[in-house]
Amino acid sequence: MNAPIVIENLTKYYGSFLALDKLNLIVPERENIGLLGPNGAGKSTTLKILCALIRPTSGAAYIDGINVVEKPEQALAKIGAIIETPEFYTYLTPVETLGYLGRLRGMKGEALKKRIDEVISLVKLERWAKIKIEKFSRGMKQRLGLAQTLLHDPPILILDEPGLGLDPRGVVEFREIIATMGAKKTVFFASHQLVEVAQICKKVAIVNEGKLLAYDTIADLEKKYQTLEQAYLQLTGGSGE
Amino acid sequence: MSEFDKLRVVIGYEFLKHIRRRRLYIIMAIALLAEALALILVPTLMTGGFPKDQIVGGVVIKGVMVMAMILTFGASLAAIGSVFFAGDAIAGEFESKTGFILFTNPVKKTTLWVGKYLAGFLAVGLLIIFTYVVMAIALVIIYHEVPVQIFGSLGLCLLYAAAVLSLTFLFSALSKGSMGATVMTLLFLFIVSQIVESILAFTDNPYWFMISAGGDSVTLPYGSLLQLMQGLGIGGGGGGPFGGDMSSFGALTIPLAIWGMLIYIVGGFVGAVLISRRRQLA
């Protein structure tokens, strides 16, 4: 239970639809783990349970040893998360949004102001820092989403398709930021982009129909299936040929 | 960081939302328009200008009280404006998916809802106080006095706003979307509650527990509605159909109306918190 993220027999039903089927997974400290799978595989459901946005039907999820269902506030204090395309209050500017979220996490004063400037600069939103979010494109919201994830310098990052909506330059910048930050943090990262995952993570978990199909290093999967793409296709039901 | 500190943060930013949104100023304009129309139409349409002191059935009905009652409609409109402050409070976080950011912060949902409620009440409260100040200025200009009962009316109006806010929170917790919550609350306030209240009143049954009775109570500190209507020269003790109707509304007292509104304030908000706790952001 000492690993940053522990998932035990996690099961989730949406009505009669089984989204997660007794999923077990451990994400070790300071490792970047990619969560791969086709649409409806259970990736987002897993991350949403870890972020206390939804409750599991059975099983448990732990962040830094804290049960997410039982003590959500304590668990959430340890993470920074982007789930789906982030939406923000349109009447606030990025600086105000980060001020709000930072204060909710106990940050204040000059330290908060300095950190807001740092993360805004990191995601290259300086020109838009004091413009209301109602004017933002999807990619800009994604950048702000990453900024709020990093604002409080959490030890664990949970990212659901963080590159979604970004232009090619944005994707590259995003990847660099996550790769740099990931060297010092635990990153659990869901994506459809195999190339993106391969550049950020050394290890991946492949899920389909709520079940864990493989959890191995990319190098080992490539040895076994020739490429990560082949591993993904064969494990998730494609021919792979 | 304590939950109280977080509550203060939530109130601050939620209040900022109300200040920045156009709806606050639209509701303010409508409330002021209602007061302005009363100040123009009453002296124009009534013979002899603004209502004057008169004795009806041995009871002195002061003109300033009658005018205060009429002007209070503007403040009541501001109280009803609570619906537009709270319709999206809970439903909006799910509908617009801003909850994906907000709910991943280490703050209790109850703290978020209480903060949103208090910020909404603060905004609508300031709006109501503003309309009462305008009303007081108008009364000073016309009658050279402001009845002390205006404070009682203000208190009841704030209580009514709090009750409407709670009810809207309840519908916001139940509803998938903000618009649905707003429409459902307005339908409940103006159709369901009004109809039930009227039926109960006409059949001589207590109706203080209806939220619309809370709205009616805002003018009670100035005197009974029947007396004040008589001060306007209408509803003369059951002579006409309107007068007959008004006589049925004498049963509402201020303490009963306060109890009724407290039920909605507590019941509505607690219900909203319990229901929204079960909601998941899938």
- pLDDT for B237: 46
Interface of B with A (CB under 8 A): 1, 5-6, 9-10, 13, 16-17, 20-21, 96-101, 103-108, 280-282
Domain boundaries, chain B: 3-278
Residue B242 has pLDDT above 50, yes or no: no
Test B282 with A92 for CB contact under 8 angstroms.
Answer: no
pLDDT of residue B235: 55
Chain A residues lying within 8 Å of B10, measured CB to CB: 104
User: Does B158 score more than 90 pLDDT?
Assistant: yes
pLDDT, tens digit, 9 for 90 and up, residues B76-113: 888 888 898 888 889 999 998 999 999 999 999 999 99
A61 touches chain B (CB under 8 A): no
Q: What is the pLDDT of residue A1?
A: 61
Q: What integer pLDDT is reported at residue B250 of this predicted model?
A: 55
What torsion, rounded to 10 degrees, do the Cα atoms B117, B118, B120, B126 define? 160
Provide the pLDDT for residue A240. Answer: 44
Q: Which of residues 19-38 of A touch B (CB under 8 A)?
A: none
Contacts A–B by Cβ distance under 8 A: 74
Work out the pLDDT band at B233, boundaries 50, 70, 90: low
Average pLDDT over residues A134-150: 91
Residue in A55, A88, A105 closest to B98 by CB? A88
| C-alpha separations of B167 from B33, B62, B91, B188 in Å | 26, 35, 13, 9
Asked whether residue B243 carries a pLDDT value surpassing 70, the answer given is no
Q: What is the 3-state secondary structure (H, E, C) of chain A?
A: CCCCEEEEEEEEEECCEEEEEEEEEEECCCCEEEEECCCCCCHHHHHHHHCCCCCCCEEEEEECCEECCCCHHHHHCCEEEECCCCCCCCCCCHHHHHHHHHHHCCCCHHHHHHHHHHHHHHCCCHHHCCCCHHHCCHHHHHHHHHHHHHCCCCCEEEEECCCCCCCHHHHHHHHHHHHHHHCCCEEEEEECCHHHHHHHCCEEEEEECCEEEEEEEHHHHHHHHCCHHHHHHHHCCCCCC
Q: Which of A48, A79, A86 has its CB closest to that of B101?
A: A86
Question: Residue A2 pLDDT more than 70?
Answer: yes
CB-count burial class (<10 Å; 0-12, 13-18, 19+) for B276:
buried
Tens of pLDDT, residue by residue over A35-75, are 999 888 899 999 999 999 999 999 999 999 999 999 999 99
Asked if A76 and B106 come within 8 Å (Cβ–Cβ), the reply is yes
What does the mean pLDDT of chain B come to?
Answer: 88
Give me the pLDDT at residue B238, please: 44
Does B281 sit within 8 Å of A101, measured CB to CB?
Answer: no
Measured CA to CA, the distance from residue B171 to residue B60 in angstroms comes to 44
- Of the pLDDT bands very low, low, confident and very high (cuts 50, 70, 90), residue B134 is very high
The pLDDT of residue A204: 94
Q: What pLDDT score was predicted for residue B204? A: 85
Q: What is the pLDDT averaged over residues A175-186? A: 84
Q: Say what the pLDDT of residue B241 is.
A: 39
ipTM of the complex: 0.90
